[in-house]
């Protein structure tokens, strides 16, 4: 079982408050600090990674920004985070076939593949006349530090090998989370908004989630 904090809204949380929440998450045994918002979340995640030693997650929109540019941003953020980045892709309000192409190209780019794509909406390499000679295939440069950056897509099942990621309110109980996970591994992201709330949630959830027979009296 894994326990994350967030997503913390970088549009409304000041850097000072974000710092305090991230430090409280470490003190409370959270595994990851997640940030979300309308933009700049990869930058915010890289900043949080300079403050705390745990993993950091960013919620980013996919479907409007060119997937190669997004892959580059993810790679640079992962390098800045020393290989501790996780990503949740939030589908934009676009046609389903546009979204599928963006996800496919993004996945290929992050995998390190030498990429050639001639789809309905995207062409990689673009081979524009103004570009002059270009290679037949392109590979992402720089590459992420991790061999595979953990990536989820909001509203879809977790990729094979990753636990199901579920967003939870601050007052959720460990019993509710364990019931939701069933016999599978779970990754729970808890929405706490103050350092005290973060510490209380971690104290209540971290032990029982990682050891289901964890005695409640330890925290009393």
Query: 85 is written with which tokens?
Result: 């980045």
Pairing of strands 117-118, 123-124: antiparallel
Per-residue pLDDT tens over the stretch 176-206: 888 877 777 789 999 999 999 999 999 889 8
pTM over 0.85: yes
Per-residue pLDDT tens over the stretch 89-144: 999 999 999 999 999 999 999 998 888 888 788 888 776 556 666 677 878 888 99
* pLDDT for the residue 124: 81
Q: Is the dihedral of CA 116, 149, 142, 33 positive or negative?
A: positive
What does the alpha-carbon distance between residue 143 and residue 109 come to, in Å, rounded to a whole number? 9
CATH of residue 49's domain is 3.20.20.30
What's the domain range around 13?
A: 2-219
Listed in sequence order, the DSSP H helices in the chain are: 15-27, 41-51, 67-80, 96-111, 174-181, 195-210
What does the alpha-carbon distance between residue 148 and residue 112 come to, in Å, rounded to a whole number? 9
What does the alpha-carbon distance between residue 30 and residue 188 come to, in Å, rounded to a whole number? 10
What does the alpha-carbon distance between residue 191 and residue 194 come to, in Å, rounded to a whole number? 10
| DSSP character at residue 219 | G
Kindly report the average pLDDT of the chain as a whole number: 88
- Taking alpha carbons only, the member of 51, 113, 114 closest to residue 82 is 51
Domain count, the chain: 1
């Amino acid at each position: 079982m894994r326990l994350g904090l967030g997503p913390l809204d970088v549009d409304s949380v000041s850097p000072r408050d974000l710092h305090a929440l991230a430090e409280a998450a470490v003190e409370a045994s959270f595994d990851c600090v997640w940030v979300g918002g309308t933009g700049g979340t990869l930058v915010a995640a890289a900043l949080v990674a300079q403050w705390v030693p745990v993993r950091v997650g960013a919620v980013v929109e996919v479907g409007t920004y060119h997937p190669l540019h997004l892959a580059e941003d993810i790679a640079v953020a992962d390098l800045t985070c020393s290989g501790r980045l996780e990503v949740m892709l939030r589908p934009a309000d676009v046609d389903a076939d546009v979204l599928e192409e963006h996800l496919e190209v993004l996945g290929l780019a992050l995998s390190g593949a030498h990429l050639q794509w001639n789809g309905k909406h995207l062409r990689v390499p673009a081979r524009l006349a103004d570009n002059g000679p270009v290679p037949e295939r392109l590979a992402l440069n720089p590459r992420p530090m991790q061999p595979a950056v953990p990536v989820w897509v909001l509203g879809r099942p977790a990729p094979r090998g990753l636990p199901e990621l579920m967003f939870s309110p601050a007052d959720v109980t460990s019993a509710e989370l364990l019931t939701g996970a069933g016999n599978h591994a779970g990754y729970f992201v808890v929405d706490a908004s103050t350092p005290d709330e973060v510490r209380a949630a971690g104290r209540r959830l971290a032990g029982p989630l990682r050891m289901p027979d964890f005695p409640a009296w330890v925290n009393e």
